[in-house]
A and B are shown apart, each in its own frame.
Chain A
Amino acid sequence: MSVPEEHRGSLWNVLTNVGVAIGGAIGLNALLRTLRGQPEATPLLKPPLAGPAEHTPREEIVEAVVAERQHSYLDDGYTVRSWLLSTDHKRIAILYMLTITLFFFIGGIAATIIRLQLVTPQGGLVQTATYNRMFTIHGIIMVWFFLIPAVPAVLGNFLLPLMIGARDLAFPKINLLSWYLFVFGGLFTTAAVIGGGVDTGWTMYAPYSSLYSNSQVLAAAAGIFITGFSTIATGVNFIVTTHTMRAPGLTWFRLPLFVWTIYATALIMVLATPVLAITLLLIFAERVLGIGVFNPAQGGDPLLFQHLFWFYSHPAVYIMILPGMGIVSEIIPCFARKKLFSYTTVAIATFGIAGIGFLVWGHHMFVAGESMYASLLFSILSFLVAIPSAIKVFNWTATLYKGSIRFQTPMLYALGFIGLFTVGGLTGLMLASLAVDVSLHDTYFVIAHFHFIMVGGMVMAYLGGIHYWWPKISGRMYPELWGKLAALTIFIGFVLTFLPQFVLGHLGMPRRYFHYPPEFQALNILSTAGASILGVGYILPLFYLLWSLRHGEKAPANPWNATGLEWQTASPPPKHNFDATPIVTEGPYNYQPEESERDNRSSEESERDVSATPGR
Chain B
Amino acid sequence: MTSAPRLVGEQFDDLEQQQEACSLGMWVFLCTEILLFGGLFLSYAVYRHAYPQAFHDASHDAEYWIGTSNTAVLLISSLWMALSVHCARTGRRKLLLLFLALTLIFGLAFLGLKGLEYYLDYKKNEVPGINLPVTDAFSRQKEMFWTLYFFMTGLHAFHLTIGCGLVALILILAWRTGYNAKHYAPVEVTGLYWHFIDIVWVFLYPLIYLPGRH
Contacts and interface: CB of A to CB of B under 8 A. Distances in A.
Give yes or no for direct A-B contact (beta carbon below 8 Å). yes
Interface of A: 161, 166-172, 232, 235-237, 239-241, 243-245, 270-275, 277-279, 281-282, 285, 289-293, 298-301, 304, 307-308, 576, 581
A232 B128 CA distance: 31
Interface stretch (B35-43, B83-91, B167-175, B193-201): B35-43
B10 A290 contact: no
21 contacts: A161-B11, A168-B10, A170-B12, A171-B25, A172-B9, A239-B24, A240-B25, A243-B24, A244-B21, A245-B21, A274-B38, A274-B39, A275-B38, A289-B129, A291-B143, A293-B144, A304-B43, A308-B42, A308-B43, A576-B10, A581-B13
Interface of B is mostly: helix
B81 to A, nearest CB: 22
Given A271-B35, A282-B39, A291-B143, 16 more contacts: A168-B10, A170-B11, A171-B21, A236-B28, A240-B21, A244-B24, A274-B33, A274-B38, A275-B36, A279-B39, A290-B129, A291-B129, A293-B147, A299-B51, A301-B47, A304-B43
A268 to B, nearest CB: 11
A275 B25 contact: no
Given A240-B28, A285-B151, A169 B11 contact: yes
A523 B135 CA distance: 54
Given A244-B17, A244-B24, A245-B21, A236 B144 contact: no
B129 A271 contact: no
A240 B32 CA distance: 14
A167 B11 contact: yes
B4 to A, nearest CB: 18
A166 B129 contact: no
A277 B37 CA distance: 10
Contacts of A240: 21, 24-25, 28
B36 A274 contact: yes
Interface string B143-164: 1100110010000000000000
Given A277-B36, A279-B39, A270 B128 contact: no
A613 B21 CA distance: 47
Contacts, number: 110
Contacts of B10: 167-168, 576
B23 to A, nearest CB: 9
B39 A299 contact: no
Contact of B43 (A166, A277, A293): A293
A236 B32 contact: yes
B29 interface: yes
B120 interface: no
A305 to B, nearest CB: 10
Interface string B166-207: 000000000000000000000000000000000000000000
Interface of A is mostly: helix
B1 interface: no
A291 B145 CA distance: 11
Q: Name the residue in B11, B12, B36, B140 with the highest tally of chain A Cβ atoms < 10 Å from its Cβ.
A: B11
B114 to A, nearest CB: 19
Interface in B17-67: 17, 20-21, 24-25, 28-29, 31-33, 35-40, 42-43, 46-47, 50-51
Nearest to B146: A291
Interface residues of B, number: 37
A293 B152 CA distance: 13
A270 B31 contact: yes
B20 A244 contact: yes
B143 A298 contact: yes
B176 to A, nearest CB: 21
A282 B20 contact: no
Interface of B: 9-13, 17, 20-21, 24-25, 28-29, 31-33, 35-40, 42-43, 46-47, 50-51, 128-129, 137, 140-141, 143-144, 147-148, 151
Nearest to A308: B39
A243 to B, nearest CB: 6
B167 to A, nearest CB: 20
Q: Name the residue in A232, A239, A299 with the highest tally of chain B Cβ atoms < 10 Å from its Cβ.
A: A299
A298 B32 contact: no
Q: Which 6 A-B pairs have the closest CB atoms?
A: A278-B39, A168-B11, A274-B36, A299-B140, A289-B129, A274-B35
Contact of B35 (A237, A272, A290, A581): A272
B137 A299 contact: yes
Nearest to A166: B11
Given A167-B10, A245-B11, A291 B147 contact: yes
B173 to A, nearest CB: 17
B24 to A, nearest CB: 5
Q: Name the residue in A244, A290, A293 with the highest tally of chain B Cβ atoms < 10 Å from its Cβ.
A: A244
Nearest to A289: B129
Contacts of A277: 36
Nearest to B10: A167
Nearest to B41: A278
B33 to A, nearest CB: 7
Contacts of A241: 21
Nearest to A291: B147
A277 B40 CA distance: 11
Contacts of B33: 274
B9 to A, nearest CB: 7
Contacts of A270: 28-29, 31-32
Contacts of B28: 235-236, 239-240, 270
Contacts of A166: 11
Contacts of B40: 278
A161 B31 CA distance: 23
B43 A282 contact: yes
A304 B47 CA distance: 10
A236 B25 contact: yes
Given A170-B21, A270-B31, A289-B129, A300 B144 contact: yes
A166 B18 CA distance: 13
A114 to B, nearest CB: 32
B31 A271 contact: yes
Nearest to A233: B29
B141 A299 contact: yes
Contacts of B12: 170, 245
Contacts of B148: 293
Nearest to B137: A299
A291 B32 contact: no
B36 to A, nearest CB: 4
A339 B180 CA distance: 48
A581 B151 CA distance: 49
Given A166-B11, A167-B11, A171-B25, A291 B20 contact: no
A237 B24 CA distance: 10
Nearest to B148: A293
Contacts of B13: 581
Contact of B140 (A171, A278, A298): A298
B51 A245 contact: no
Q: Name the residue in A170, A239, A241, A271 with the highest tally of chain B Cβ atoms < 10 Å from its Cβ.
A: A170
Nearest to A273: B32
Contacts of B39: 274-275, 278-279, 282, 308
